Amino acid sequence: MKPTLFLLAAGMGSRYGGLKQLDGLGPHGETIMDYSIYDAINAGFGKLVFVIRRDFEEDFRRIVLSKYEGHIPCEVVFQSLDALPEGFTVPEGRTKPWGTNHAVMMGERAIREPFAVLNCDDFYDRDSFRVMGKFLSELPEGSTGRYAMVGFRVGNTLSESGTVSRGVCETNERKLLTSVVERTKIQRFDGVVKYLDDDGETWVSIPDTTPVSMNFWGFTPDYFAHSREFFRTFLSDPRNQANLKSEFFIPLMVDTLIRRGEATCEVLDTTSRWFGVTYPEDRPEVVEKFKKLHDEGIYPDKMF
The pLDDT value recorded for residue 174 is 95
CATH code given to domain 4-148+214-266+274-295: 3.90.550.10
At 73-83, the pLDDT tens digits run 999 999 999 99
pLDDT (tens digit per residue) in 203-221: 999 999 999 999 999 999 9
pTM attached to this predicted model: 0.91
- Higher model confidence: residue 15 or residue 134? 134
What residue segments make up the domains of the chain, in order of their start?
A: 4-148+214-266+274-295
State how far the Cα of 180 lies from the Cα of 198, in Å rounded to an integer. Answer: 14
Tens digit of each residue's pLDDT (9 = 90 or more) over 87-120: 999 999 999 889 999 999 999 999 999 999 999 8
pLDDT in tens, 8-33: 988 764 443 446 677 889 999 999 99
CA–CA separation, 267 and 28 (whole Å): 34
The whole-number pLDDT of residue 161 equals 80
pLDDT for 224 equals 98
pLDDT at 198 over 90: no
Q: How far apart are CA 174 and CA 265, in angstroms?
A: 10
Q: Percent of the chain, pLDDT > 90?
A: 77
Q: What is the pLDDT of residue 16?
A: 38
**CA 6 from chain center: how many Å?**
9
Task: Give the model's pLDDT for residue 226.
Answer: 97
Examine the pLDDT at 162 and tell me if it is beyond 90.
no
Instruction: Please compute the mean of the pLDDT values over residues 31-53 and round it to a whole number.
Output: 95
Contact (Cβ atoms closer than 8 angstroms) between residue 100 and residue 231: no
Q: What's at 221, amino acid-wise?
A: P
Question: For 253-302, what is each residue's pLDDT tens digit?
Answer: 999 999 999 999 999 999 999 888 877 888 899 999 999 999 999 999 99
pLDDT the model gives residue 24: 87
Secondary element (H or E) of residue 133 = helix 126-137
Provide φ and ψ at 14, rounded to 5°: -100, 0
Question: What pLDDT shows up at residue 167?
Answer: 87
Percent of the chain scoring above 70 in pLDDT: 97
What are the CA-CA distances from residue 219 to residues 35, 141, 288 (Å)?
22, 13, 34
Strand pairing partners for 117? 6, 217
Mean pLDDT, residues 214-239: 96
- pLDDT, mean over the chain: 92
pLDDT at residue 199, rounded to an integer: 86
State the pLDDT at residue 184: 85
